[in-house]
């Protein structure tokens, strides 16, 4: 049976803002939003990443996505990239500094950027409020993740309530990948856009923590050994049976 993310309730005439990094998960979330919402915009964050590859991937994926379906091209509106590089300097994660990716003394991997999703959602909500968009769409997932506490459903539900109170308006955080494995995420991509979308994600999205765009695998580009590559590769194997 094909995997389908649950269709958001009360979606009529809704506008969505997708937290869009240019990675596999955010690419699937963008396709999800373009399928289920009437008006879609994207927001990304330069938080001082070690590699600019992710930011370059955002442009490629957005451009390629509009070529897949005329209806998607019509729905997809503006994009904004927010410079919060100072936040990355405060976080001192392996994603923002030259540090080994390993399990830290806190019990979390050194790739954890403290509060990253919370910061992203606050800024996205402020932009969505100004743009008249009702829903924030993010690729957070507590099934296949690295133990990051800001990816858990409980965290996102609390953030949704806080944003609704703080903005004095209903804010919905739509997380279509929350309970999917990486293999099921590949399957969802296939269900949303077929082989063209899967091929787009393989060729243009970027997940590798090392910023490797030289080594090409069946599942896309990456070093093949960092946690992000291992997770993406395992998901591909689960879905494609490779």
Annotated binding site: 20-30, 208, 223, 226, 229
Cα–Cα distance measured from residue 178 to residue 165, given in angstroms and rounded to the nearest whole number: 23
Binding residues for ATP are 20-30
- What six digits make up the tokens of 223? 């070093």
Query: Tokens at residue 131, please?
Result: 């743009």
- Give yes or no for a contact between 222 and 57, defined as CB atoms under 8 angstroms apart: no
- Given a contact cutoff of 8 angstroms between Cβ atoms, the answer to whether 185 and 235 are in contact is yes
Residues flagged as binding site for Zn(2+): 208, 223, 226, 229
Helix (H, G, I), strand (E, B) or coil at 210: coil
Cα Rg of the chain, angstroms: 17
Any idea which residue has 């976080």 for tokens? 91
* Three-class DSSP category at 132: coil
In the three-class reduction of DSSP (H, G, I as helix; E, B as strand; rest coil), residue 170 is classed as coil
Q: What is the DSSP letter of 229?
A: H
The neighbouring-strand residues paired with 36 are none
CA angle 14, 15, 19 (to 5 degrees): 135
How are the residues of the chain apportioned to helix, strand and coil, as percentages rounded to the nearest 5?
45, 15, 40
């Amino acid at each position: 049976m094909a995997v389908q993310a649950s269709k958001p309730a009360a979606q009529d005439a809704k506008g969505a803002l997708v937290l869009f990094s240019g990675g596999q998960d955010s690419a699937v979330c963008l396709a999800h939003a373009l399928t289920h919402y009437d008006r879609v915009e994207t927001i990304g964050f330069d938080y001082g990443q070690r590699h600019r590859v992710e930011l370059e991937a955002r442009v490629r994926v957005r451009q390629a996505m509009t070529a897949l379906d005329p209806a998607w091209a019509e729905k997809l509106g503006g994009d904004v990239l927010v410079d919060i590089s100072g936040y990355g300097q405060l976080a001192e994660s392996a994603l923002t500094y030259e540090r080994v990716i390993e399990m830290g003394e806190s019990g979390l991997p050194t790739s954890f950027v403290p509060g990253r999703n919370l910061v992203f959602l606050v800024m996205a909500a402020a932009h969505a409020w100004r743009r008249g968009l009702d829903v924030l769409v993010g690729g957070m997932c507590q099934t296949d993740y690295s133990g990051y506490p800001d990816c858990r459903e409980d965290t996102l539900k609390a953030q949704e309530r806080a944003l609704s109170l703080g903005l004095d308006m209903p804010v919905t955080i739509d997380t279509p990948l929350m309970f999917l494995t990486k293999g099921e995420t590949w399957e969802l991509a296939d269900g949303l856009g077929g082989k063209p979308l899967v091929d787009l994600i393989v060729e243009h999205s970027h997940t590798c923590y090392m910023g490797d765009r030289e080594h090409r695998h069946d599942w896309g580009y990456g070093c093949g050994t960092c946690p992000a590559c291992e997770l993406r590769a395992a998901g591909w194997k689960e879905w494609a049976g490779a």
